[in-house]
Structure 1
């Protein structure tokens, strides 16, 4: 029998839309109140956070990154490529969480070694359910490094 214990995750949420960020945080924390969700609102801040530069020099490495594609200052695909090209950071799972259903975006994301590509549902209840299920998968079923 598989143990489905929910482990608290340290999630880096890279999202420029305040409403999407709030909904994501609420759904993840409803899944497990011990999940720690840190948010940055642009690609440059995401790179600084992940590479522990500037104001983020003391942060812990996240267990999971939820990455929007359409970001100011550096787009999500550039962030993804930088993370997956770095030997120390490439093991961090990166889930692209975006409104884009474009085949070219999916192909580019998987070509840069995204661990998953999820299109945000427009419906609030479906969005909340999807985030809850993401938390369930990454905190219960997946074995993190």
Structure 2
């Protein structure tokens, strides 16, 4: 999908190690999209609700959000609920990317409006496969509405 080719991908992840591994896996895709990290839910909401207003933040909304659930401060569930209730942000795909395989977590995330739920893999090769699928589907296959 051409419109999202260079939009940032927002990764809301408190773990430096997980973000570093994700960055490496996305770079292997030769992805032109910048990877933007928010370390907690509060920082993610500040960017998403005030995009274009803060120096240093991208001037456009992300192509999609990879959202960890267990974050310091405002957790991922709360961030997801706020995004999906906001008319200007609700059409941004939010993919939960968590270590939790708890069925209650998965059900709650879909109830709150998650577009997908992926479990963080332990093996790096599986992480590469998942990032390849994310890029293929969310950037090259899915038809998404324009964001205002």
* Fold shared per TM-score above 0.5: yes
* Preserved contact between residue 66 and residue 96 of structure 2 (Cα < 8 Å): yes
Secondary structure of the equivalent of 2:9?
strand
* Preserved contact between residue 8 and residue 32 of structure 1 (Cα < 8 Å): no
Corresponding position of 2:12: 14
Indicate how the Cα distance of structure 1 residues 21 and 57 shifts in structure 2: closer, same or farther if over 3 A, else same. Answer: closer
Higher deviation after alignment, 73-82 or 15-24: 15-24
Deviation readout 1:74-107 (Å, 9 max, x if unpaired):
1000000000011111011000011000011101
TM-score (norm. length: structure 2): 0.87
Higher deviation after alignment, 9-18 or 66-75: 9-18
* Preserved contact between residue 63 and residue 139 of structure 2 (Cα < 8 Å): no
1:40 matched to 2:38? The reply is: yes
Higher deviation after alignment, 132-141 or 37-46: 132-141
Higher deviation after alignment, 18-27 or 75-84: 18-27
Indicate how the Cα distance of structure 1 residues 144 and 122 shifts in structure 2: closer, same or farther if over 3 A, else same. Answer: same
Distance across 2 between alignment mates of 1:61 and 1:7: 12
Secondary structure of the equivalent of 2:28?
helix
How far is 1:58 from its partner? Answer: 5.5
1:62 matched to 2:62? The reply is: yes
Corresponding position of 1:128: 128
TM-score (norm. length: structure 1): 0.89
Corresponding position of 2:24: 26
The CA RMSD over aligned residues, in Å, is 2.2
**What are the ranges of 5 or more consecutive residues in structure 1 without an aligned counterpart?**
none
- For residues 45-124 of structure 1, the aligned pairs below 5 Å read 45-52=43-50, 55=54, 59=58, 60-124=60-124
